[in-house]
Amino acid sequence: MGDSGSLDSSSNLLRATSFYTIIILLCVLLYGMKVIRAPSLGRAHELVVRYILQEGSFLRTENGEDTVETDEVCLRVETPFERPMSSACSRFKEAFLDSYAHNLLFGSDAVFEYDYHGRLFDWGCGLCDASGEVHCDQVRYIVEKLRASPESRRAVGVTWCPPVDGKLGDCPCLQLIQCVVRDGRLDMKVVFRSNDMLSAAGANMFALARLQEFVAKEVGAAVGAYTHVSLVPHIYFKRDAADIPPFCQEGRAFTPSEVVCRACGRCGLSRR
């Protein structure tokens, strides 16, 4: 992709992507959003899974997978390092989550169509200027911006790369991170265009809180609140049916919708 664009064009695309995401957020805020407040990331994960399994509407995706989804949702955790950081109901335990967070912060040797470490610490996607490939460390930008101006609202990083991502079979779900410092605490706000809340959100939140901690230490601030916005939160209720019973406890904790229960088939509720 050596001739895929200039630095000016990539900068314009970056600004346009940020502006587009902000406009979406403003529209969401104007029309209202489901807000889930929880004392820990693990509990937030449990509550959002319950909400989608109970209230979600059926949608078959463009890839032919059956999901239930809701309108946009916001998870707010004032103390993201309060335990449990991950739900005991999730099949992904902390050893896996520690590895996932390490890879986000420091990269890995695995090869994917994209990864969040690359998009946040080395954004460029093969775009070029006159001197070669573009490499933008957005996390370093956030740190330096907040060191210079702790009151700034411009400490933002984005992942989307329009010339590349529109052609990918698997494109980034995380779109934007923003860090702000208020009263000596660094808050992180993240936006996902789409989020698998059952199988991915727990790991996403865990790793991004570790990124929040990393930035806070670099800036010299305490870790503040973590806000996680998903514009299209969903669950693959057929593909991941085996992961549902630990959350609903076969109807003892809560009762998922009929379409979910019928697909799961692991307790008497499937015969409703």
Per-position DSSP letters for 166-182, written without gaps between them = TT-SS--SEEEEEEEEE
Residues 203-213 have pLDDT tens digits of: 999 999 999 99
Instruction: Examine the residue annotation and report whether 173 is marked as an active-site residue of this protein.
Output: yes
SS3 74: strand
Residue-averaged pLDDT of the chain = 89
Percent of the chain with pLDDT over 90: 73
**Which is more confidently placed, 33 or 232?**
232
| pLDDT given for residue 31 in this prediction | 62
| pLDDT band, residue 1 (cuts 50/70/90) | very low
Dump pLDDT digits (tens) for 212-253. 999 999 999 999 999 999 999 999 999 999 999 999 999 999
- Residue 85's nearest CA partner among 209, 221, 240 is 209
Is residue 194 left, alpha or beta, with left meaning phi > 0 and alpha meaning psi from -120 to 50? Answer: beta
pLDDT band at 7 (very low <50, low <70, confident <90, very high): very low
Identify the three-state secondary structure at position 158: strand
Catalytic residue among 128, 173, 248, 264: 173
* Nearest Cα to Cα of residue 233 among 123, 69, 115: 69
For the entire predicted model, the pTM comes to 0.87
Q: What is the pLDDT of residue 22?
A: 62
CA atoms within 13 A on the CB side of 11: 4
18 pLDDT exceeds 90? Answer: no
Whether pLDDT at 9 is above 70:
no
- Residue 20 has a pLDDT of 54
* Two tokens, residue 24: 């979406």
Each residue's pLDDT tens digit, 78-106: 999 999 999 999 999 989 999 999 999 99
- Rounded mean pLDDT of 41-47? 98
